[in-house]
Amino acid sequence: MGSVCLTLIAVLLLKNSVLACKAPDVVESEKDWWQTAQFYQIYPRSFMDSNGDGIGDINGITSKLDYLKEIGVTAAWLSPIFKSPMVDFGYDISSFYEIQPEYGTIDDLKNLIAKAKNLGLKIILDFVPNHASTENEWFKKSVKREKGFEDFFVWHDGYENPNGGKRLPPSNWIQAFRGSAWEWNDERKQFYLHQFAVQQADLNYRNPLVVEEMKRVLRYWLDMGVAGFRIDAVPVLFEALPDSSGRYPDEPLSGTTNDKDDHDYLTHIYTENQPETLDMVYQWRTVMDDYQRIHGGDTRVLLIETYAPAWFTMPMYGNSTTKGAHLPFNFNLITMLHKGLKATDLEKSIGAWLDKMPAGRTANWVTGNHDQRRTASRYGIELADTMNMLVMMLPGASITYQGEELGMIDGEISWADSVDPAACNSNPQIYEKFTRDPSRTPFQWSNSKNAGFSTAAKTWLPLAAAYETTNVEDERKSPKSHLNIYKALVNLRKQSKLLKNGTYRFKALSDSIFVLERSLNGEKLVLLVNVGNSASTINIRDFDVTLPETMKTSIMNVYSTKSEGITIQAGRIELSPYESLVLVKT
Ligand code: NOJ
């Protein structure tokens, strides 16, 4: 392969062209399960309602395990199912050791894990270490300064207001859901920090008791048989320390918005990406590895949420002496792309991960989650299959948010129906900019009542109107549906040693044409993508001179009129608008 790459680079240098060409992350035939896994994010509230209350639940998920098997999932990550007043729909936890009653019981969870195991599926839970609900006993005890809980949260006196009236907060920090990140507690007579909603108090990670307690939480759920965790909001775990006079530093203005309540009003140099956070991630990795060593079984995996620049995200993988997260989420396909994206944007966003990832680590690819607009709405339904093709064919693990396999689009949620704090803390004029409700609408199983999600008269969020045509039942029947294309991709991925271990190269051939090639021992798979709305004719032997004159079609998106298994002249491939296709070397 090396010589092939060298030849190719020479040819391209002559053409004054740039091409990413890199060896695979680990050259080994046997990878650990998570390195090539298909992770699937379930938002339990919206997946399947088993008891007709309009809210999804654990037994609902259990009843749909066959579907997960059908679409080739390796491990399902459940967004939080723990006891919560649901201010932030489970990301405000009032008991880290209990299940939210409307979602079910511990026995329901055990049953889910056992049934999943029988089917060869793993279950991963969401670990929310940064904050606890103000309804949590820990917070109540901290308010009362009970022994052991005095410093469980981040407390500060704030400052006297020179003009009289309410005391002033300790710093200008802004929470994610608008307004000050400090809230006065009249009982304790101090401010507490909350990087998210007022009801989500930040735990104090400079307190060893907090660190220990949260490790206990991890072990508790590992004992229940979970295969690992997705860790929430990692970059905001630590804040800068106050100075010698006890003053927290103010954050500078970003200059990007005049809206003083908007989180983007400030540049978060003191509340995000602090160096201590890395060590905490490494400690959690040790908890996972120790657990496996003592109890045996498969690797317990850590997937971590890191909306952060590469200089902070990459060390999350660990360093030369210490292991970190198995997979820090790669959000480049979300943060670096936009509607009307060009092939060059794909090249940049993919390269921005693969070029910066430390040697020997495993990449991962995410295009959507419960905090983002639906992929098919963000980039247009034209790119729904294309994004799934990329996620499945790029090296490493794939992560699918429920419904992305169907090409689900955003629901339209009125101000009156809004429930997300990110929306509700704003106003009817601007809420659509902030709301996350549109991507959280119930999963679309069929075109019957409530899309087959629930028998209730009203579901917790309204259905997205598109369910009448975009749903599992109908898409199963249509050979060229998003769902069947997704299933074909997963099948290919599961069977293909090349996709697991092969080298990769990718390049934007023009503003609209992107090509990804995977190779192993002379075998090749090529993904050709036209992100543009006009037809294009290309010669992929310009991209790789070693490709044969003819190749065969394997998987096509819904915009392709080509049939499977036909022979294509590699020197002259005609692509329709938005056509994407996978070609195999014959
Ligand atoms: C990130 C989660 O994905 C999001 O849904 C939540 O609101 C915040 N963290 C706070 O936990």
pLDDT tens per residue, range 309-359: 999 999 999 999 999 999 999 999 999 999 999 999 999 999 999 999 999
Lowest mean pLDDT among 1-5, 90-94, 117-121, 390-394: 1-5
**Which of 81, 196, 234, 307 for mutating ligand 1's site (highest number of atoms within 8 Å of CB)?**
196
Query: Span 430-439, mean pLDDT?
Result: 98
**Is the model's pLDDT at 124 over the cut of 60?**
yes
Ligand 1 mean position to 213 CA, how many Å?
21
Ligand 1 mean position to 19 CA, how many Å?
37
Confidence label for 30 from pLDDT (cuts 50, 70 and 90): confident
Residues with CB under 6 A from ligand 1: 88, 91, 128, 196, 232-233, 305, 370-371
Averaged confidence pLDDT in the chain: 95
Query: Span 410-438, mean pLDDT?
Result: 98
Query: Span 60-87, mean pLDDT?
Result: 98
Could you write out the DSSP letters of every residue in 245-300?
Answer: TSPPPPPPB-SS---TTSGGGB--TTTSS-THHHHHHHHHHHHHHHHHHHH-SSPP
Share of the chain above pLDDT 90, in %: 95
DSSP-based three-state secondary structure for 184: strand
Confidence label for 6 from pLDDT (cuts 50, 70 and 90): very low
Spatial distance between the Cα atoms of 374 and 389, rounded to a whole number of angstroms: 16
**Is the model's pLDDT at 3 over the cut of 60?**
no
**Is the model's pLDDT at 184 over the cut of 70?**
yes
Confidence label for 451 from pLDDT (cuts 50, 70 and 90): very high
Tokens 């090349």 found at? 498
Q: Which atom from ligand 1 is nearest to the alpha carbon of 128?
A: 11
Query: Span 521-537, mean pLDDT?
Result: 97
**pLDDT for residue 18:** 38
Write the residue with the smallest CA distance to atom 4 of ligand 1: 371
Tokens encoding 295: 């109890």
**Is the model's pLDDT at 381 over the cut of 70?**
yes
Spatial distance between the Cα atoms of 207 and 219, rounded to a whole number of angstroms: 19
**Is the model's pLDDT at 16 over the cut of 80?**
no
Domains identified in the chain and CATH numbers: 33-127+424-470 (3.20.20.80)
Ligand 1 mean position to 177 CA, how many Å?
10
Ligand 1 mean position to 305 CA, how many Å?
9
Which sequence positions are flagged as catalytic?
A: 232, 305
Confidence label for 586 from pLDDT (cuts 50, 70 and 90): confident
**Is the model's pLDDT at 396 over the cut of 60?**
yes
With 0-12 / 13-18 / 19 or more C-beta atoms within 10 angstroms meaning exposed / middle / buried, residue 295 is exposed
Write the residue with the smallest CA distance to atom 2 of ligand 1: 232
**pLDDT for residue 209:** 98
**Is the model's pLDDT at 155 over the cut of 50?**
yes
DSSP-based three-state secondary structure for 537: strand
Tell me the one-letter amino acid at 18: V
Choose among 127, 120, 139: nearest CA to 70. 120
**Distance of alpha carbon 387 from the chain centroid:** 14
pLDDT tens per residue, range 496-518: 999 999 999 999 999 999 999 99
